[in-house]
Amino acid sequence: MEHNTAFVFPGQGSQYAGMGKDVAERYPVAGRVFDAIDASLGYSISKLAFEGPEEELKLTQNTQPAILAVSSAIHAVLEEAGVTRRDLVAGHSLGEYSAIVSVGGLTPGEAAKIVHLRGKFMQEAVPVGSGGMAALIGPTVEEARAICEEAAQGEVVSVANINAPGQTVIAGTKAGLDRAIEVAKKRGVRRALPLPVSAPFHCELMKPAEERLAADLDAVT
């Protein structure tokens, strides 16, 4: 029986200070990817990924190119080792851009510039600390939507990512999210956890970022 091979690339929330350092030190091809991305951005995103601090790394305009850099570096190592078969590529949120890099649609440097702007525009759409995301472990998507509707009270709180059966991420204003977590607990939700991100992604609050990024996306092939 023949199996398909899929490469799936992570999005925000997977970052941590120190990520990618061991790969860059051990594999020259990974180091070259980091160098190319640093040169494209005009600052050292690799230093921030390798050393932190965490507070700087979790700012969206830094997190996105940092995760893309680590994903692209690891992929380059796999390619050099001969792991080239991939029937499918996919990415979670910004991981979409890592997936595009993996099949040659964009260079790592080109993609890093786009995701830096993507992160910058997303961060500027909602001031730091005024919005966020939380994972609800246990409820169905319909139950998560009902929790958001009860918690909204005129503010934005909505389902953002359907990660897996029983794991739904919601996004919105900080006050709305706090209410949603309380509503979830009252309804017997097993776990309701704020995520380590600095903005409420994949919800209506991101519309200004979508509009600003459109021009930059139109300028690349």
Catalytic residues: 93, 202
CA atoms within 13 A on the CB side of 87: 5
As a whole number of angstroms, the distance between CA 51 and CA 60 comes to: 17
- Our CA dihedral for 49, 50, 55, 57, rounded to 10 degrees, sits at 0
Q: Which residue intervals of 6-140 are DSSP H helices?
A: 21-26, 28-41, 45-51, 54-57, 60-80, 95-102, 108-125
Tokens of residue 132, six digits: 């966020």
Tokens of residue 42, six digits: 């005009």
The 131-137 sheet, strands edge to edge: 157-164, 167-173, 131-137, 191-194
Among 116, 126, 117, 111, smallest CA distance to 160 is for 126
